[in-house]
Every structure is written in C-alpha cells, then in structure tokens.
Structure 1
Amino acid sequence: MTSDTRIGPVALPDTRSRRIVEDLLEGSGVNLNGSAPWDIQVLHPDFFSRILRQGTLGLGESYMDGWWDCERIDEMAHRLLRHGLGERAHTASERLMYRLQAGFFNLQSKTRAYIVGKAHYDLGNDLFERMLDPTMCYSCGYWKEAETLHEAQVAKLDLAARKLDIQPGMKVLDIGCGWGSFAEHAARRYGAEVTGITISKEQAVLARQRCEGLPVEILLEDYRDLEGRFDRIVSIGMFEHVGHRNYRTYFDTVDSLLADDGLFVLHTIGSNNSEISADPWINKYIFPNGILPSIKHIAQASEGRLLMEDWQNFGADYDRTLMAWNENFDAHWHEVADNYNERTRRMFRYYLGVCAGAFRARDIQLWQVVYSKGRAGRYDSPR
C-alpha cells in the first residue's frame, strides 16, 4: 500500500503494538497523528507491529512504502534521538547480525569495495547534480562564515587545502575523490598536480570531465592498490567506507604514500562510541557495509604511523548541509522524476532528514584531522 491510496491518517487501532509505540514516544514531543510538523501521520494500521518487529529498518522501509508521513523528518529524528530512542529503535537481532557479520567477515575487503559505488554513488549523476551545489561536494560544508551551500562547500575545500599548506607544483593525492571537487579546487586555485581515486564509475566519468585541462588524473581504483609518493594527501568523506578491520591497512597505506615532510588531512563522519554497529536501514539502502569510526578507532589505527597535528569537529555544520541538500532535492525532483520512482524520492527524503536530525542531536560528528610524519617546527592549523 502506498501513500497515494489514502488522503489522511488512519484511525489508530487499539492494539498492544500501538500502545507500546505510544509509550516509547511519550516525553519525546513526537505524537501520532498530531498537528506538529514533526508528528508521525500513520497511514497504515500495521505500522506499529512492523517497526516493533523490524526496528529502524522497518521505520525507514515503511516510510518508503508510504505507511506513514511526516512533514519534518529532521525534527522528528532530532527529538527521538534526544529522547534516547536511538538504541531502543534497533532490535537485538539487528545489532547481533551486524556484529557477527563484521566480526567474521571483512565487509570492506577489496573484492567488496565497489559495492557502495554501484549501490549509491552510481545511482545517477543527474540526481546528485540537482541535490548538490556546483562544486559537487557530497560531504559536510563549512558554514563558519558562509551564507549559502555553495559558499560553505568552497570554504570546506579551501579549509582542507589551507590545512595541507599546498604549494604550486606539489603532488597531491585525493583518496575518495568523488566527482572531483577537491582535485579541481587544488589544481585550479593552488597549482597542484592531483591524483584522485574513486570506486564509482559514474563519479570517475564526471570528475574527468570537470577536471579536463587541469593537471588532474582520476583513477577508478581502490586505495590499497596505490603506489607512488605524494607531498600531500587528503581524504574527504571516504573513511566511513573503510571498515574497522581495515583501519590499520588504511593508515599504513597513507604512511607509505606520504612524503617525509608531507601532510595528510582526514575528513570523516565520526561516532560518539566505539561499538561496531551500523543503522540497518542506512546500511541496506544508502551506504552498504559502511561504519562510522570513533576517536578511539582513529587514534589506535594511526598511532605509531602518523603524528596527529590537529583535530577539528564541525559536526553541527552537517545539519545545515543536509537541510540544504534536502531543499535542493525537493525543488528539483520534478526535473528527474521520470528517471526514478516514488520510492526513490521517499528514500532520499528519509535519508536526508534522519541524518540531519542525528547531527542536530549531536549523535554523530564530523572531524577534520591533520597528520604529519613528525615534521620539524610548529604546526598552526587554519580555522
């Protein structure tokens, strides 16, 4: 059943499942069939039993199926997370299954590295071009002095470039280059020679087009296959796909590729705790096999390899970035609607809203970490 078959919320059945959901929501400020924009409008009577049975996977899938609606999913998620429903929203079987999978299998091995590229980043450049700003940055903007999404993304790119102290002619490696945002910025504005790698065919095609005529090489390659020596290395929004079993390999690779007097900037979403887990819905529909690192994960993996020079958190800026993407997505969906379906539209709206709410609740973070090999003298990180 889809939302098209109903004109408004259904009369709530007086069931045990409904009463349990109401008890969970009590005190969160989120109500069932309420009048606030963050209230859940129930459109299917089996909504309650489904989310109790399937947790966050059921919540997300039932939204995609049109079983419920909410005008402000971001505010709904923010309120639920601040109320402490984050862990309770995951079923025990979901958590156990992911821990078993992550414990026994390398979900981010080289043979599996391209899964997320095919599942998400290759979905369609036409969609991402309308959702993102002209830089095609698909990571957190830096809103310290920015008023628009484009200004925030240019500021983020420049912040990373200034932290790297890029000089003309330097060889720069961009691990997880996406659609070529940083590669183009570093080459055009700083005169760098950039090698960018991605595991997405669609990203590689567009990145090469965007960087045509610049000293930029875009490779469809896994970071573990790289060779060479680079003056500077940057990785923006890619470490989330590395996986805890590969953190040491990742830092070993960076260490081997970075010049002795080089600098490395790691830009990644981060978790507040070190538990190996992933949201089942995000894992299935958005970023397969992804996992958020903690401070402990990053520190342990880099210790003995690189020297941490600076650590900055601007996770609150991701809330504003995601809301800007959501605004673009809604405004331009009609331009690409014929290429997708309603379920894809609802998937993206849920994804963007829930993630914005999570950053607003400070449930997850965004870090930029600067590393060296122990270069001489003082390092002052730009802000």
Structure 2
Amino acid sequence: MPKTSLNHYMERHATPPETLVNLLAKADITINGDAPWDVQVHDETVYRDVLTRGSLGLGQAYIEGRWECARLDEFFHRVMRANLDEALGGWGKLQLLGDVLRHVLFNLQTPQRAYQVAQQHYDIGNDVFEAMLDSSMSYSCGYWAHAESLEQAQQHKLDMICRKLDLQPGERVLEIGCGWGGLVRHMAMHYGVEVLGITVSKEQQKLARERCAGLPVRIELMDYRRLDGQFDKIVSVGMFEHVGPKNYGIYFDTAHHLLKDNGLFLLHTIGNHKTALQTDAWIDRYIFPNGKLPSASEITTAIEKKFLIEDWHNFGQDYDRTLMAWWEKFNRAWPELQFQYDESFYRMWKYYLMCCAGYFRSRQGQLWQLVLSKRESTRMYRSMRPL
C-alpha cells in the first residue's frame, strides 16, 4: 500500500490493519488483548509507524508512550521466537535497503568513529551504570551455573575468565575494552598480573583509574588499532560487538601481533544465530551506534590462519537472566535517577533491556567465550569449566 494511501487508511480506521493483526497472531500476541505480553495501543499512529518504519517506528512509538505492554520481555521473546522481527524489518523497504547499504558500503567503525558509541552510550552517566550493575560494574553477561545473585554471577564470570586464561603471577595482560575496570582489577588483585586496559570512554577511564589505584594496572583512552608491545595473555569482553566486519581482519591481526607465541587470547562476545547484513535499526539509533553482532561463521573466517580455537563456550541463555537482574536494579533505583533523567530515558532504557532479554530468551542471541592460541604455541591447553 503506498504511503499516502496508508496514511489515509489510518485516518479513517480505528481498528488495527489486518496485516499486523495476523502477523502478531503467529506469536500469540493480540492488540489490546488481556495477556501480559499483549500490546495496548494508546495512539493509532503506532500502526502507521510500524508498517512504514519497522522496528525503528515500533521503538520510537514506545518511547513516546503511544503503546504499552505489561511484559515487554515476553512480547519480544514471542516476536523473535516466531521470527516476526524479520517481517518488521522488511517493512519500510527503502529504510531497510539504506541500512544494508550503509553497513555493506561503508566502514562504520573507523578509528575516527570508534569513540561515537562511548559518547552516546557509555558516557551518559556513571550513576546509571553504578545503580544497574554489580559492585564490579561488569557490563556483560554473568555466569549463572551456580550463582544465586547478580553479584555472584559476575564474580564467577570474572574468575572463569582468569582460569581459562591460566593466569600466572608476573604475566603481562592486555584487556581490549576494559569498561569500568572490573576485570583488570580482579586479575591484578587475585592473580598477581600486570594489566593494561584500554577503553574509548572517558567516563570509564576516569572511574577505572580510581578503582584500580595502587594496583599494577594502567587504563588508557585509545583505539585498539594504536596498540603495540607484547603480552602473555589478551582478553576482550563485550567489545567485539563494536568492531564491525570490515575490521575483523585488522582486529585479529592486531591481537596476533601483540600476543606472545605461547600466549592465550580469550574473546567474550555476543553472537547472532545467523549472519545478518545490518543491525536492528532501533538499537543502532538509540543504544549502540555503528555496532554489529558477529555470527559464528564470520568469526571462524576472520581467525583462519591467525588463531586456533582451543575452546568455544556458549552460555547465551545466562544473558536473559543478567538483563532481567539489571532491569530490576535500574527500576528500583529510578526514584533517585529520575531527578537526572526524564521519562523518555526511562522508557528507552526499559525497552532496550527488555528487547535484549527477549532476544536471548528466543535463542537468536548467543554469548560466546572463545579461547584462542597461535599455531606456533607449544603449550598443551585443557578446556575447563569452573564450579
């Protein structure tokens, strides 16, 4: 239906378009229904925006309060489990084509653009992240196999990484994307290693330096492409999602060059269930600009002739539980945070956490930890799982 005809239709009809009703029915979702995952539409312009702008229109309408859902996480779980997000992405074909061409034709993660995600997301205010995260301020998936709280899940994750890397006292370690310093602090305090952590976020660098004062830790504001030196171990947690396919080669070339021949490299990253040509338009606009989730085949192609895979561990369903724990803490802290942030921010942040929880619950989203070594290595590596 042409856009002008669609607008005219919306002006004359109070009921939702049959196309949208039938699509949502495949996921057992009813518009203005009684189930907690049903959507409650307060403004009929939602239909127009979804049909013309796909996921971007859906998310913007939620931020503006034009629709509601009691269990937003379950709404997204059902949408993605039934692969309806692909149909949503297909609407607004010119926009979809533009998103695909943007990722295919341009390098969205050049050194000059590397700091954009920090400016839009990581530097919004440490108070939000301090309220939402655990005491280590780990902004990545926790490991819940034997954890009963977010605090335990993140501590278990940090220690699992150290043990997978077989850290030894006196070793020199690099963390690419160190966040607020939780892992570098843990490694230095409990394993006696010297650590260099890099980040593109000024706010992260400032707080990480404060938290690591007195430890053999350096925190530098820099892009990974500027690194030099030699390290016994390298780790990267939740940063690879910002690298982009056009830079996978230089990313792994850089890690290969920096790692000693008998060293180990642990890569912790979200992974998509299949290779996609673009990222979700709403996430790209509001949360992580220029990001791109890798598929398994993209990673294996990029590391070929550079690294051997010693271990590949998937615990993606733990991210659902992590995200819901973050939401609970954020929501509980909102009475204090609301003096610094408006209602639109609250709805944006809720939408972000809930759609991500649904993404992992549907198993479209994975969480991978890969342990990589050079072919030149003479060490015997034994895969391990803690606890």
- TM over 0.5, yes or no? yes
Return the offset for 1:93: 2.5
Q: For 2:17, what is the secondary structure of its paired residue?
A: helix
Return the offset for 1:104: 1.9
Task: Tell which deviates more after alignment, 25-34 or 14-23.
Answer: 14-23
Q: Which residue of 1 aligns with 2:18?
A: 19
Q: Which residue of 2 aligns with 1:57?
A: 56
CA distance in 2, matches of 1:339, 1:314: 35
Which AA in structure 1 matches 2:28? G
Q: Which residue of 2 aligns with 1:215?
A: 216
Q: Does 2:258 align with 1:249? A: no
Q: Which residue of 1 aligns with 2:331?
A: 330
Q: Which residue of 2 aligns with 1:67?
A: 66
Aligned residues: 372
Return the offset for 1:318: 0.3
Deviations 1:5-53 (A, max 9, x none): xxxxxxx984575322111111312111122211111111211111111
Q: Which residue of 1 aligns with 2:85?
A: 86
Deviations 1:292-313 (A, max 9, x none): 0111111111111111111011
TM-score by length of structure 2 reads: 0.94
Q: Does 2:236 align with 1:235? A: yes
Deviations 1:215-246 (A, max 9, x none): 11000000000011000000000000000000
CA distance in 2, matches of 1:71, 1:129: 26
Deviations 1:273-292 (A, max 9, x none): 12221000000000000000
Return the offset for 1:377: 4.7
Return the offset for 1:361: 0.3
Deviations 1:108-166 (A, max 9, x none): 00000000000000010001100111110000000011110010011111111111000
- 8 Å contact from structure 2 (residues 262, 379) kept in 1: no
CA distance in 1, matches of 2:95, 2:140: 27
CA distance in 2, matches of 1:77, 1:121: 24
**Residues 25-36 of structure 1 aligned to structure 2 (within 5 Å):** 25-36=24-35
CA distance in 2, matches of 1:377, 1:139: 29
- 8 Å contact from structure 2 (residues 14, 44) kept in 1: no
Q: Does 2:192 align with 1:195? A: no
TM-score by length of structure 1 reads: 0.95
Q: Which residue of 2 aligns with 1:347?
A: 348
CA shift in 2, pair 1:323/1:13, >3 Å: farther
Q: Which residue of 2 aligns with 1:6?
A: none
Task: Tell which deviates more after alignment, 94-103 or 215-224.
Answer: 94-103
Q: For 2:173, what is the secondary structure of its paired residue?
A: strand
Q: Which residue of 2 aligns with 1:291?
A: 292
Return the offset for 1:355: 0.5
Q: For 2:169, what is the secondary structure of its paired residue?
A: coil
Q: Which runs of 5+ in 1 are unaligned?
A: 1-11
**Residues 133-148 of structure 1 aligned to structure 2 (within 5 Å):** 133-148=134-149
- Superposition RMSD in Å: 1.3
CA distance in 2, matches of 1:13, 1:270: 44
Task: Tell which deviates more after alignment, 192-201 or 78-87.
Answer: 78-87
- 8 Å contact from structure 1 (residues 315, 362) kept in 2: yes
CA distance in 1, matches of 2:220, 2:181: 11
CA distance in 2, matches of 1:199, 1:272: 28
Q: For 2:313, what is the secondary structure of its paired residue?
A: strand
Return the offset for 1:365: 0.7
Q: Which runs of 5+ in 2 are unaligned?
A: 1-10
CA shift in 2, pair 1:332/1:13, >3 Å: farther
